[in-house]
Amino acid sequence: MLAADSGSRLGTLVFTDPQLQPGWSHVSAPAAQPRELPSAPRELAVEVVGAGRVRGLAEWLAETSATSLLVVVDGAVIHEWYAEGLGPETRFLGASMTKSVLAHLVGRAVRDGALALTDPVTAHVPELGATGYRVATVVDVLTMTSGVDWVEDHRDATSLASRLLSAFPSGDSRALLSEIGAGAAPGTRWSYNTADSQVLDWIRERATGRNYVEDLERLWGDLGCVDESAVAVDGTGVALAGGGLAATARDWAKVALLAVAGTTDRGEPLLDPDWVHAAARPPYPFLGVGRLPSSITSFAGFGYHWWPMDATGRRVTADGSRGQFACADRSTGAVVVKTSLWPYDDPLVDRQARDLSYLGLHAVLDAVTPSRPTQEEPG
């Protein structure tokens, strides 16, 4: 198990095989219908240009404290690397990549007709009627534009974000959601907000009748994921849907592959094409690439709990704290999974490593040329 710096609770989490971490509770989602990704190893020549110089692949991985790198082209793994002591069976905590898996689950619920993006939050969760969510809709929490009074600061032990994380494993995370007040009008501003994710999962659960782990198990089977995953839960059994999923690198790749066209490796549709396109595009100008707060990143925008890497939605990524990425080029079907463990409690180091990671992800995707595109480049 690897943990890094001291300080905030987020800075001391175990990011490799967290299900073994003492003091946390996890529920497993089995891989009921495993289908291995084939391997087709080939040389990966990559140069990453950024921070005033050029670096090769190995140097980029070292400089961004990488723990794994996996590249999929034409549905096959062409490159697979793990840091010393880690390997294909290691479960990597995705942190906020968990939010992008939640988006897949919500997309399936919308496809099944269980809920609509225009539904008021309180239509599904009336318990939030006296909170800042009382006038928000599903799409508001899906795009983190709910406008509630929330600051995502895990470096402040007294913040709501820190208190939410502290509800795991023995507290009641949903009780804290009832304390959140109003800020701005929904749809008028963006603020990174794990509470929105937890509310979104509560909505999804009420609409489908399945909790996060039950819906994840269904998704895991349909995607043909190979290894059991683990999800952190609080004292009431509620999942940390905004950050508690751990999975192997190859299974994180299957999560990203679903973002390409909404289908499994067998071509079976799980998400509507319109949903997949919308998830990869910023719905408001202030969510565009380079328009988010610079403390977050200048290299991505925000869609449906996924991070567009360009204005067209051609490239999109899941993005988790301290360097967890599962990105897809939707025009080629290529996927890159990169997990990392850089220090969190120094904001400058965190920002520099994140920016350099985005530059490197683009460089890797640029370097791989599939033999055929899997779909037309999004318009």
Q: How many domains does the chain have?
A: 1
At residue 218, the pLDDT reads 98
Radius of gyration of the chain, Cα coordinates, nearest whole angstrom: 19
Domain containing 338 equals 10-367
Summarize the confidence of residues 313-337 as an average pLDDT: 97
pLDDT band at 10 (very low <50, low <70, confident <90, very high): low
Question: Is 168 within the bounds of a domain?
Answer: yes
At residue 123, the pLDDT reads 99
Q: pTM value? A: 0.94
Q: Which stretch of 94-103, 147-156, 203-212 has the lowest confidence by average pLDDT? A: 147-156
For residue range 15-46, list pLDDT tens digits in order.
888 888 888 899 999 999 999 999 999 999 99
Question: Is 243 within the bounds of a domain?
Answer: yes
Beta strand spans in the chain (E) = 25-29, 47-50, 53-56, 66-73, 76-82, 92-93, 229-233, 245-247, 307-308, 315-320, 324-329, 335-340
Q: Report d(CA 112, CA 127) in Å as an integer.
A: 25
CATH code of 251's domain: 3.40.710.10
For residue range 346-375, list pLDDT tens digits in order.
888 999 999 999 999 999 999 997 544 444
Q: Is 97 helix (H, G, I), strand (E, B) or coil?
A: helix
Edge-first strand order for the sheet with 307-308 is 76-82, 66-73, 335-340, 324-329, 315-320, 307-308
At residue 344, the pLDDT reads 82
Question: Is 373 within the bounds of a domain?
Answer: no
Question: Is 322 within the bounds of a domain?
Answer: yes
